[in-house]
Each structure stands twice: as C-alpha cells, then as structure tokens.
Structure 1
C-alpha cells in the first residue's frame, strides 16, 4: 500500500528518534502485543506537541497490517472520543504511529482507584459509547467499523478525563446500510472481553463490540479487571460470575464498596441494567450503542440529581437558626431566598443551584479602621449592622463556600440613605497589588433597593479565597451605606 494518500501525516524516523531520546526506556509508557509506546515532543505543522509513538515490532508478523489499518481508519474517522492520529513513520523496517498524548493513561489503571468518582466513571463510559455509536454508524453515512478489541486498557484518558478509544489494528470494516453486518474472520481479541458467539462460531457483528463494552461497564462498576491474573497468566474470568450476581439481584456483592458510598441507587440500577443487557448471549437481545448512550445519560442525570439534593440539604444545615421544610421544593425556595449562616455571612442559591456568598462589610474592614467609621443598625439589611459614610477604606475579604471551577463576580453592595444619586458607583477601587484605581461604574438595583456593582471577576479554584481591595469615596457623594461584598455566579462569562 502506498503512503502518498497520507503524505501530510508522514514524519522522518530521525525526528521521532530525537523526540524519544532514541527510544530510551525512560520514555517508554506502554508495552504489549507487538508494539511499544513511547512519549516525546515533536514539532508538527500545527505546532509543538506531546505525542505517544507506537512502535510496531515486525518480528511478530501482524505489524504491517495493523499499521496501515490504523492509518486508514484514523485518517477517515474523527470523533471527540476517538484517539487522533497526528503522524506516522514508514521507513525501512520501522512502522511507527503517532497519536495525541493521553496524559492520564488507560482506564484499566483507575478501575480500583477510589478517587475516580462514580460521576466521572459514567462520563467516561458515555464517551466510549458515543465513539462506538459513531463507528457503528446508525445513520448509514460511512462504512461501519467493528473495533473487535474493546477493553479498558484500550480506553485512554486525557487530562480532563475525556475517554479516547484507541487501538484499531484489529478492526474490521463492513457495509453500514444493513441492520446486521456479518464478517467471518479468524477469531482475535482478549479473553474475557470477547463475544462468546464470535469466539465459538467465528462470525463477527457490531454486537460483538457491544458485548465487550458490557464487560467494561461491569469493570467500571465492580472496580476491577474482568479476570484474575496469576503467575503471568489469566486463570479465572469473572464475567459469568458478575452476570449471575446481577440476574440473582445480588449486585451489592460485586460492586466496589468504596463506590457504593457515593453512588445513587437509582443511577446504579440504570447503569447495571444496560450493562447486563450487553452481555446477553442472544445478540438480538443486546442493545444498540445508541440505546446504551441514552441509558448511561439517564444514569448520569440520576446521579447528578442525587448529588444536588445531598448538596442542598448540606447547605441548608448551615442556616442559623435551622431551616424548617417538608419537601425538596420548600428547601429550594428557602435557599433561593437566602439565609444567615452567622452574623457576618449570608448564603443563597441561584436558579442553577450555584451558591452565592455575601460577607458583611463589618467582617471585611479591619478592627483598626472600623473604630473610625460609623456602625449603625439597618432593618432593611440582611445583617444586623452596616457602615455609614465610609471615606477611604481597605477591605480584607475571605470566602468559605465558593464552588471550584465556577466564575464569580465580586460585587459591592451599598445604597444611599437620603439623596438619590442614581446608579453611579460612588467609589473607585483596586486590588491591593494593583497600581491604578478603577471606577466609577454603573450599578444595578436589587429587588430590595440595595445597589450592586461588579468590582472584579475571577474563576474559583477552591472554596476559600482571599482578597484585599482598597476603595476611595468620591468627594461629591454623601450618605452612602455599605452592606457587604457579594460573590455571585456569572451566567455568561465574557
């Protein structure tokens, strides 16, 4: 086969050798079958990037066929959840494939890792299911691809835990315009994952991939590989045991105990039901990949709903005095209206159930400065005390309840006691480390009459953040009252 069609992906062996320090063992990140995988940084037309180089070993015989099959396959089929082919090398006896580097490695290394949450596991499975649905092509827009070696070690994970299906050297093409595509071939695959009918009869269908994916779903749920390994060999395959436990309603005996603590029972029920259907011996009783995608998305939605409900209850427990409610709807209403956590912190949620935190101005101003300011009571404030007619002042702000990865506005909350000065902010301000002041700007009027203006915007990395803000009052403004600093979720990040 000529490589001219794929010339734009071809790189020189000397460049790969340089990127991998001449295939140094320190660069080796994977080994098995008839290939070794190295990592290295290489300059491509799109820029310099880290690449995983799969170096095929010709002495195993199948290397050349696997090589060209992957070049063709990954050049024509592109999907978010398929590993991307970035380059290849075909010089002399060397056959090397260069893929996008998946920094977290393969899924099999995380099956027993308790830090990989149930929510993350479902999302990974959804990604794989979407990729397989694309390959099986229910829309008849391309040749159908049967992967033929779906297993957890062939599911790679990038830095964002996005699943990337890899290793297409054993895949088969078939027509997509038929309900069933039968391909007769020599049986290949991995024991435990391989469809029993394919193993026994030698004919391959897209349902063979579905069986293999069902095994992966059980691995994800049980927190272990589908076989027991002893003395360098597989000595027991667990798939039959797992299926029997599900059929006998004894799922608790096989599901990872660490996962059960964080898993919603309804989510687990939906997940396990679709996994079990994948393992049906009768291929006609197995679901399509599109059905699997939909059921996994339902399992994810149930898990998120359960997490949200637990989070809302935990948030409600912070209220002093405690909130009194009889239903989830009542709790949502109370949290939306907001509540006092203590004398200096007010909490509420928005329509997306994101936490808003407002800190009393009394807590934000240091003891030394507050002695020179007029502290008064205000029956319209969410706090017992506010500050009147503050001149120049410095705010030291510490949050407690923000949500990581959410972008927040830092807002100043104030009002005018007597004169109507409109919505012009009567201050200019800067962060402690900044040289120049910003402002004044236009404020928004809150429903209760208080004015709110954005000082800064930032993306939260942890629950606790610390800010120091210096404010100067404009000379023409009098009778202003300061309530506090509000952290509210940004719905549209610019």
Structure 2
C-alpha cells in the first residue's frame, strides 16, 4: 500500500529512514510449544542487522550497486552464525521447564553427577514429540553452569553434545540438550550387542571430538575436558557417541606459548592423569590418558574402577601389566573376542597403551589417536568383508605367485581388500604359466599360457613378448590356416560343480576392434577325436579375442582336457599372423551343453498340425486377395491365408517367393507329396541365395509386427548348410545390421545371442526366422517387395528344400 512499485522501493526508503525493523513479521519474536516451553525466538541483533544490510543491497536501483551471489552467501552465513550463537535465542522459561519435568519429579530422573541431575522430557511441537534432556545444576555451582553453557554455545561438533536451550533463573541454573536414547557408554560395556565394530566406531567418535577440542576448531585455543570417562560419553539410537559434561573444562589460548597450567585437581579417580594428580600440571595430554583408560574399558568390557566388597579397585595397572607381558588377550571381553581381527586388536591395544605412557611427551596427540583407531577399523572391516571373499586356498596360491601375503608384513601394509583386488585382476602362478582370476561371484577362472602347448609345425611359430598380454610372452603363429597346436591341460584350480566355458584367447596382428559384433573366424579343431567348428570370436580388451571351444561341468577335482587346433578359415583375416595367449576356463551361467542328437529335435514354434490344416482353407472373403492375376490357377496354390487371434496370417509358397528371381537355373522344382503346396524348390550348389517376391498390403493386418520364417528341410545330400548364413535386407540395408541364421542347429557356444536357429515346424519341415517388420511403419504403398539375400560364410551350399515363407503376426 505504501508504494505501487512494490516492497523493494519501500525497503530502500525505510532502510535510509532507519525504520525498516517495523517491517519484521511479529511472529518471529516468540514461538510457543504447547505451553510447555516459551522460547524467545526473536532474531539476534547482529544477525538481523547483517541480514537487512545484504537484503537492501540486493534491491539497489542499479545493477552495478548490487552484490554478487558469492558475497551474498558470505553475508547470509555470517547472519546465521550470529543467530546460532545468540543466547537469547535459546532461553527457556523456568515455568515451562517445571511443567515439563513435573516439577523435577524423580520418575523423570535419568542420571546425575557431583553437582547436577538430569531429567528426560518430551517436547511436543506440531503433533510430534521430541525427547530432550534437562540438566539441573546445584545452586552452589553456578560457575560450572556458566562454563558449560558458554562452551556449548561456542563449540559445535558432531561428536559434542548439542545445546537445545538454557534457563538462567535467579534460583535455577538449567541446561537443555539433545536426548541420547541409549544413555551413557559405561552402561553398555558388558553387552554382547555392542559388537567390536560398534565399539571401534564409538572410539573413533570420541577421538574425533577430542581432536576438535584440543585443536580448538576455528578458535585459537585448546579445550581440555578434564573428565573423560564412560559416563560422560552419550550414545544415540544409532550408536553415535558424543562427549558431554563440560563443567570442569579448561581453555588455554594457543596464541600464547603455554604448554601447561597449574590448577586444582578435578576429575574422577582412576581416570585422572597421574602426573596431573601428583603435580597439578594440566595439559591436553591429561585427556589422552583418560581416553586411554576408556579405550581399555571398551576392549575389556568392564570399568577400570570397580567397587569390590566396599573397596574401590583400580584395574588399569593390571591391564597394563597384561599388555606388557603379551597376555592382554586374556582380559579381552569374551563377548567380542572371536570378532576381533588380529591386526585390528594389535593396532588398538598399542595406541591405547601409548595413551597411558607415564611420560606425557611420549603420549600421542588426539589426531594421531584418531588416525590409529581408523586404521584399526580399516583392518577390522578388511577382515570382516574382504577375507571371506578370498579363495579358501589363497595362501597356497600366493605361495605359487609373487604376490605378498598379509601375514608376511610387520607394518600392516597389505590388506585382504588389496589381495582380493589382486585376485580379481588376476595373479600369475606356477612359474607364470597360469593366470588365476576371481569372478564377481567368487567363481575361480584360470587361463593357461600358450607356452604349455605343443606345436607340430615348429618352424611356423615363435615365442614373443608383447605388452598387451597378461603373460610374460605369447606364441606368434605365422600360418593361421595350419596351426597344428596340441593342448593338454587340467582343471585343478577351478571351482567345483560350476559350469565352465573353454576359450582360446588370441589376437590378429593386423586387426583392431571396429565393432562390438562377434567376428567370424571359423576355427576348426578336434575335441575327444571329434572335429568341431567355432565360428565367431568375441572381443575383449586391447584387441584380444576369445572363441569358445567347449562347455562342461567341473564335477571332478582334476579333469584332463585335450584339444587339437587345426586352423582358421581362409575367409577370416587373409595373410595375417596370430598371437595366441592361451586357453581360458571361465565360469558361465545359463549353460547349454553340447546337445545330443535326440535333443536336436528342436521345439515346435509354429502352429500345430490341426492349426496348419485349418490354414489350408482360405476364407471366401479373401478370394480376391489371393488372386495375383486373372490367370491365377487354383490347382497350383501359391498362398494360404488365415487368421490368428484376429490377425491375418500368410503362408507364401516357395514358387511365389522366388517368382521374381531371374537365375532359375540355381533351383529345381520338385513335386511334393508331403507338402501342402504341390511344388517345392530345391537349392542347387551356390553361395548366395535370394528371396524375391511382392506382397499386397491387404494380405497382412495393419499396424502389426510380423516375423517372416523360411520353412525348409534338408536333402540327404545337403552340403555347406552347417555353417552360419548371413541374411541381408537389400531394400532396407542402410539402417539394419545383417542377421545370422543357421539351417542346422550349431553347438551352444556358436550361438552368441543368436535366436535364428531352426525349430520344428510341422512333420519333417523346419522353420528359421529370417526377417522382422511392421507393415505400416515400413511400407506405404499397396504392394511391397521382399528382397532378402542369404550368403554362406563358407562358400557353396546346396540341398536346401524350400517349402515357402510364413508371415506370422507377433
């Protein structure tokens, strides 16, 4: 209402008139939590001034006068700092505290000390309950109250108890801080649920808090707590530790050359530094001594100060004696003894003992204690997490390698984690001829060096060192078509009852990876006196390749495997030489072992015989679609047309599929008594086989995905049909990869995610998928052409008897 140009103009004027504070929302000045506590929430004066100043700079009339975001952030952080340190912001009313504690009712009491008592209170706000702790000081100890309050206002750290508020009344001195649900540390020492890992984390929290105190945070001063003990360490629900009770703390400015102060002795017997007790010299090393006592309490699961038969017993000297005799393990808490890694225990007990050194100068400083405790935790995590991942016989494997065992060092440099990573990268054993490697699921993989193979053509190979190999050398073969390599190896280092693939690892000298697609190489080899082929090699790192030769289940401790490698196909890589690294045994999942003749009667994927019979009867309403011309001869049917779940299903005869193919001399027509078409076509010897036909769009359903199957069988004199066949869509080849199909089911290791393998269609006929398309997406005219080219990788193929093409809706 004051200015039509908005609040910015009003703020500028009021800032100049010094009346801008009249604009502050009055609700900021006080907030009441359901009448339990009335907390003064008004902004601190310094905080408010800093905020208003930067806000008004932001709305200056010209851009050049406005500050940068970096400067704005700095000023807002300063305003926040002022507010956080404001005492008035945290002031609670005595009436509210009395109401919340039911006038300090004994049932709400949760702890106490020499001059204070603590009560648990539930602070309700916005339909939620927040537990807090109310620390009530004795009236005669106002000094301790003010000291602790001032400290908690100035020092904030994740391992220092957090101040919530205070009440500085004439008759009551009260500090309110966050409630720690698990209470003090000393109450949990003898419980098994406080595991060694949790105990280490608590020790690190305490050491972190001490390092913050001793280094002064951002302030140029050292804070000495003077009463570090288990009852002053509070634990949250997630076992986070926080140091509390700063009524006896002492602050020394670091700007002055002061190494100690002389003061009256305060603290708890059994935890106090003996030098401090004897001479009154107080330094931060006094806290280190007390912390050393707490560390041994955590390790031994008991307090170092006990009352036995009414007498106070201080046990720390007994613990030190056991340590110095090398018998400290006798005093370790039984509930955690079996959990502790040997190296973690060694580091922990060493730093705990160093904290108790009778010479203060020999005691470690808090950052060093923190560092050693983190190291103990690191070795414990290493022991718990990484050692179980190592092979059971890892020590035996290490003895056969040049990798250092964790037990062979004195300075704890080698971790089980590092060993595990070495095993996952691979370690050389057996004089560098075997590479042992752990898989991601703990399975054991092994690669045998080509140095162990036998070579018949001795003049055509030589041992060569190349940096890309995992072995010290590889075998260079000068004639890739005539390898004559005999491999005899054993499965002794493999996992039991695990399925493995056996791979040849190699690379061509003049070939680099240009595609992630498997490379056709056609390696001929013998296994168990049976000649086999492995057609495709997959790429690995550094242009190395792998080609699978066999699969087996390793159900014996030591299986002897033998292979004889003949050579690669002449269509492979010309006159290239080849580097052979070795034979790899790699654990595999979803294993399909070599199929028997019986299992090669593959599953039927087309219609059942009854469905195919119904397909013969073309619906009358499709008669016009079936006639390609006025000369259509119904006695020589070229189509079957039907429906599957409301979608058109087309069967095209071999004669029609090849009606536009000019090289008719490459086929011969054969009458068929078993085919639903009167004529089938047999393929004569050739390397390239083309499918060429035209289909009217009305024969297929609109906007439906179709799969085109080639329906065939093989004659008794078929040749070259066992090799993979490449299928290319000649009309749409620019945006599609060539597909690979098989007319004879290959070994499982020749599939490489290829699903274009023959399946039983009906009776003696087979079907293989050659094409997939969507008629609406890919064809716009009334007629569309199908032009597919099938090329054999290995030259001539013949004896393929073609029944026709089936266009099946997906």
Q: What is the TM-score with the length of structure 1 in the denominator?
A: 0.64
Deviation at 1:26, TM superposition (A): 2.4
Distance in structure 2 (CA, Å) of the matches to 1:44 and 1:9: 16
- Residues 344-355 of structure 1 aligned to structure 2 (within 5 Å): none
Residue of structure 2 equivalent to 1:112: 190
Distance in structure 1 (CA, Å) of the matches to 2:165 and 2:351: 37
Residue of structure 2 equivalent to 1:169: 247
Question: For this pair of structures, how many residues does the alignment match?
Answer: 353
Residue of structure 1 equivalent to 2:303: 225
1:235 aligns with 2:235: no
Residue of structure 1 equivalent to 2:675: none
CA change 1:36–1:326 in 2 (3 A) is same
1:150-193: per-residue Cα shift (whole Å, max 9, x none)?
00110011111111000000001111246753122111100100
Deviation at 1:133, TM superposition (A): 0.8
Residue of structure 1 equivalent to 2:397: 326
Distance in structure 2 (CA, Å) of the matches to 1:117 and 1:11: 39
Q: Is the 8 Å Cα contact of residues 185 and 234 (structure 2) preserved in structure 1?
A: yes
- Given candidates 6, 12, 30, the residue that maps to 2:111 is 30
1:26-81: per-residue Cα shift (whole Å, max 9, x none)?
22111231211111122589x963211111122xx33x111100110010001000
Q: Is the 8 Å Cα contact of residues 227 and 236 (structure 1) preserved in structure 2?
A: yes
Residue of structure 2 equivalent to 1:155: 233
Q: Is the 8 Å Cα contact of residues 180 and 205 (structure 1) preserved in structure 2?
A: no
SS in 1 for 2:438: helix
Q: Is the 8 Å Cα contact of residues 216 and 223 (structure 2) preserved in structure 1?
A: no
1:273 aligns with 2:377: no
CA change 1:244–1:13 in 2 (3 A) is same
Distance in structure 2 (CA, Å) of the matches to 1:95 and 1:262: 45
Residue of structure 2 equivalent to 1:128: 206
CA change 1:250–1:22 in 2 (3 A) is same
- Residues 78-477 of structure 1 aligned to structure 2 (within 5 Å): 78-137=156-215, 141-177=219-255, 181-230=259-308, 235-312=312-389, 326=397, 329=420, 332=424, 333-336=437-440, 382-383=589-590
Cα RMSD after superposing both structures = 3.7
Q: What is the TM-score with the length of structure 2 in the denominator?
A: 0.40
Residue of structure 1 equivalent to 2:501: none
Q: Is the 8 Å Cα contact of residues 16 and 42 (structure 1) preserved in structure 2?
A: no
Residue of structure 2 equivalent to 1:12: 93
Distance in structure 1 (CA, Å) of the matches to 2:394 and 2:352: 41
Distance in structure 1 (CA, Å) of the matches to 2:209 and 2:299: 20
CA change 1:178–1:251 in 2 (3 A) is farther
Q: Is the 8 Å Cα contact of residues 15 and 42 (structure 1) preserved in structure 2?
A: no
Q: Is the 8 Å Cα contact of residues 191 and 335 (structure 2) preserved in structure 1?
A: no
CA change 1:136–1:158 in 2 (3 A) is same
Higher relative contact order (CA 8 A, sep 6+): 1
Distance in structure 1 (CA, Å) of the matches to 2:97 and 2:497: 61
1:375-403: per-residue Cα shift (whole Å, max 9, x none)?
xxxxx982369x999xxxxxxxxxxxxxx
CA change 1:14–1:324 in 2 (3 A) is same
Distance in structure 2 (CA, Å) of the matches to 1:216 and 1:33: 20
Deviation at 1:226, TM superposition (A): 0.5
CA change 1:336–1:388 in 2 (3 A) is farther
Deviation at 1:282, TM superposition (A): 0.7
Task: Answer with 1 or 2: which has the greater Rg.
Answer: 2
Q: Is the 8 Å Cα contact of residues 325 and 331 (structure 1) preserved in structure 2?
A: no
1:181-214: per-residue Cα shift (whole Å, max 9, x none)?
3122111100100000110111211110010001
Moved over 6 A (4+): 322-325, 340-343
1:384-433: per-residue Cα shift (whole Å, max 9, x none)?
69x999xxxxxxxxxxxxxxxxxxxxxxxxxx9x99xx9xxxxxxxxxxx
Residue of structure 2 equivalent to 1:358: none
The unaligned stretches of length 5 or more in structure 2 are 1-39, 45-85, 399-418, 425-436, 444-494, 499-586, 593-602, 606-706, 710-726, 728-735, 737-751, 755-773, 775-810
Distance in structure 2 (CA, Å) of the matches to 1:323 and 1:206: 46
